[in-house]
Structure 1
């Protein structure tokens, strides 16, 4: 039992009247003790549940980011015409809707925008299909690739993927240890969602994150990230919905007229309500029936065959091409995404990526 952690747990979990907020340094210490498993499983579970009930502050989340940055491996800055886009998703996978991230990453990379995603294996409590399974269906297997190999892929402006079980063992150990509690803790969820990738302050990454809208701006600003996009997307992801309004927060959106006063400092966010119907994409979200079925539809799409999935990818990619600075408007981004898909250029990017990630032959 960690006596240091017990004191921090007492501050967080002593109830609404006597509980206290942690300082940034205390939050970093608590996270470090959990990741290194110097705290016991019971202590870790109690901390996560208490934090979920009370809700972490931006300062606490920034401290947690500090711990992940200290312990986790990191990709290095690259030379590129556009900032690296980090597409953050929940680690518990998808069960209802088709994930748009893999094909969106391929479209962005084809347009010259470096992008990296991240994830792991199936995790509780949802146990949804993780992105790694869809990449494998497309012929790209990220399992076993070293961080140096992912770095090489990213430097060539191909889409990269950071697989946490291979590259960040403390996060994997604590997720398997804590089971359901891992997914109920927004603090730990936010940590794996952002940190182990690129240093935002050194590489200029745009972090497109599933939105804990109250706390993300403050914690990201405190951690040095000034290029931020938050999206209330499909199943907690940054995939744009087609059935409802997408609620988006944009920092550094100098080209976007402020729609409302900035929500929070560090950094200020402009609120954007994006309606698919205004761009001709209103429809039911593409359902996820099974991984093999969706992979088949993905491959058909890459061959230029029209489908509802193609419409979703064009819609999603068009927004991110604009947000990355590759296109002057969302409409221009939509046109470019459609052209890249129909002309087969995105498929060519996938084929190149397949070759780059093939395992070396054994002697």
Structure 2
């Protein structure tokens, strides 16, 4: 006698057949089906062959907003949750998990400047990751003496409360998602999970979502996906290597989507503010981290100018400063006066204290 209830493998096979049946006959999953597929992948209820096939088929067909919304539903259900720390929104930056390979990041400095100005920031990511295997955010913080990778989820929240900076480290706080990382190398392409990560957030309170993107269709996809999940407010940044770091070598393109769905498009010209120039190349990790520490010490360099350009914009965008010029002046002063360096020391101490306690 056959079974009345299909196994998880059989259930996943039916979902795989929908997305992987070819250019003319493949179909988008419903939101509920996408959530079920993501849940079975996270829980390893699908076989490795099925997971790999799903990820590459989904990349070829390109995910629909409803599918990404469903996959986010599953991540929200199975992933980590950080309880609200205050009524004030936490700014959550969505940066590609596979890191940076060509240009030097200044996101850590931006986070420190914002936190020192009273804007709490939450970041998330993992280790070096396919397909780029670029420098990950956690490695940058480690180079600054901040041990985010060793914190439990409760300790992440404690540090976020005390310092205004938090980091959710995938292998520790969301190991189910970390188990899917090797598939990226095996299929040789970024799967839709790489898009999903840009708008995923472990924070349960009010957030200000800021995400980087490279290709214009991705921006629209992210906007619609978050709107489906009841969180239409979003800032999109066409940044360096898909990050939220504005380039100095070209105009910055920023989209600001408000809660009512209306959108402003900002084009920011660094040369108009005396901050244009070549983007600092990414050196070997030990050299780069020394350069980043020099930025925090207020020493002049191309990377310091990039930090002022980015820090000033985000100080204005997050409501700390009334205009861009004030934002740039404040970012420069905070670096020269050691405010950002002091915040970095506070975060490093809070991590050590959380671990010790």
TM-score past 0.5 threshold? yes
Counterparts of 1:63-212 in structure 2 under 5 Å? 63-79=70-86, 82-181=88-187, 184-185=190-191, 187-199=192-204, 203-211=205-213, 212=218
Is residue 244 of structure 2 the alignment partner of residue 250 of structure 1?
Answer: no
Q: 1:40 aligns with which of 26, 39, 47?
A: 47
Q: Given the superposition, is the C-alpha separation of residues 180 and 337 from structure 1 closer, same or farther in structure 2, using an over 3 Å criterion?
A: farther
Number of matched pairs: 346
Match of 1:258 in 2: none
Deviation per residue, 1:21-41 (Å, 9 max, x gap):
111111111111111111111
Contact 2:99 2:134 (C-alpha < 8 Å) held by counterparts: yes
Q: Per the alignment, in what secondary structure is the counterpart of residue 150 of structure 2? A: coil
The answer to whether the aligner puts 1:15 opposite 2:17 as a matched pair is no
Confirm whether residue 283 of structure 1 aligns to residue 285 of structure 2. Answer: no
Q: Partners in 2 of 1:307 and 1:362 — Cα distance?
A: 36
Provide the residue aligned with 1:261 in structure 2: none
> Distance in 2 between the 1:225 and 1:24 partners?
16
**CA contact 1:68–1:196 (8 Å) conserved in 2:** no
Does 1:324 find its partner at 2:318? yes
TM-score (norm 1): 0.90
Question: Hey, what's the Cα distance between the residues in 2 that align with 1:290 and 1:31?
Answer: 36
Residue 239 in structure 1 maps to residue 241 in structure 2:
no
Provide the C-alpha distance between the structure 2 equivalents of 1:194 and 1:149, rounded to a whole number of angstroms.
Answer: 23
Q: Secondary structure at the match of 1:156?
A: helix
Calculate the TM-score normalised by the size of structure 2.
Answer: 0.92
Tell me the CA shift for residue 296 of structure 1: 0.8
State the secondary structure of the residue aligned to 1:215: helix
Residue aligning to 2:3: none
Give the corresponding residue for 1:299.
293
Q: Mean Cα displacement is larger for which, 162-171 or 271-280?
A: 271-280
Q: Which runs of 5+ in 1 are unaligned?
A: 254-265
Deviation at 1:221, TM superposition (A): 1.1
Tell me which of 1, 4, 25 is aligned to 2:32: 25
Task: Specify which of 332, 338, 343 is matched with residue 344 of structure 1.
Answer: 338
Q: Distance in 2 between matches of 1:252 and 1:362?
A: 42
**1:100-145, Cα deviation, whole Å (9 max, x unpaired):** 1111100111111000111111111211111111111111111220
Displacement of 1:181 in angstroms is 3.6
Q: Does 1:49 align with 2:43?
A: no
- Retained in 1: the 8 A contact 2:163–2:346? no
Residue segments in structure 2 that go unaligned for 5+ positions in a row: 1-7
Aligned counterpart, 1:230: 236
Q: Is the 8 A contact 2:152 2:172 kept in 1?
A: yes
